[in-house]
Chains A and B, each alone.
Chain A
């Protein structure tokens, strides 16, 4: 729900947080871009700004709206793949599976690279500057995790609701 812009903002603050009636109102000190901003609860704001791996942090490899949009487009394009799309025997992907993955991708703190496989799964990949590597091969119910870290590798299966946890652990 949009709110009124606060008129008095300290010139030294880029963001002013004020508490009113149990809610946080966020306003910009930049008069040239006065726009209504959404209100959020105090607990939500705490989650946004205090959580180390917050999707709202400013680290370049963390959540990026542009990367998310790109990845959603990538997934959407996979809906149109037909049998033999890889030049071999690969089948297309059910729309329900793609929609499920779009939801999963939207929840990820770190946006991956996305690649379809010829065996009905979709793989997400990450690589860190230090050479550590993570890939998760996703099917309807679970993900097969393969990770290279500190010169060692491991492979394990995790349920879809723990994928974000695996990704965050890799980046920690």
Chain B
């Protein structure tokens, strides 16, 4: 797909992911690490120099998420995971977090690290 965005992420760029009610830990008031377990890479939307409101609204337009979290590309690297820009026809900001260069599916330890480093930016009232 043709996109104007670079394949390379900015160091300070954030990645946004929606959290549904089933994955919200009400006791800890944070998402479960299950949020970061997907079969084809953890789908996220890259910030790409947009405002946080724009990033949040884009996700809310797809689903009424319970919450939205963000994690920096730098923190993804520190979790020993990798960020990959993978635009799709109806979403040029679509990206994925993979376990490593050789493995797509995130291991439990890394999903847990992503959970710890993620920052909540929106909560359904």
Cβ–Cβ contact B32 & A86, under 8 A: no
**Is there contact, CB below 8 Å, between A127 and B28?**
yes
Number of A-B contacts (CB under 8 A): 71
Inter-chain contact A120/B22, CB cutoff 8 Å:
no
What is the interface residue range for chain B against chain A?
20 to 34
The answer to whether residues A155 and B108 also contact, given A87-B20, A116-B22, A127-B28 and a CB cut-off of 8 A, is: yes
Which A residues are CB-close (under 8 A) to B38? 86, 88-90, 117-119
The count of chain A contact residues (Cβ–Cβ below 8 Å) is 27
Residue of A with least CB distance to B22? A116
C-alpha spacing A42/B34, complex, angstroms: 43
Complexed CA–CA distance, A153 and B113 (Å): 11
Are B108 and A137 in touch, CB under 8 angstroms?
A: yes
- Cβ of B103 < 8 Å from any Cβ of A? no
Chain B CB within 8 A of A49 CB: no
B120 within 8 A of A: no
11 new A-B contacts, CB < 8 A, other than A90-B38, A133-B112, are A78-B22, A85-B20, A87-B62, A89-B39, A113-B27, A115-B32, A117-B34, A117-B37, A119-B37, A135-B112, A146-B112
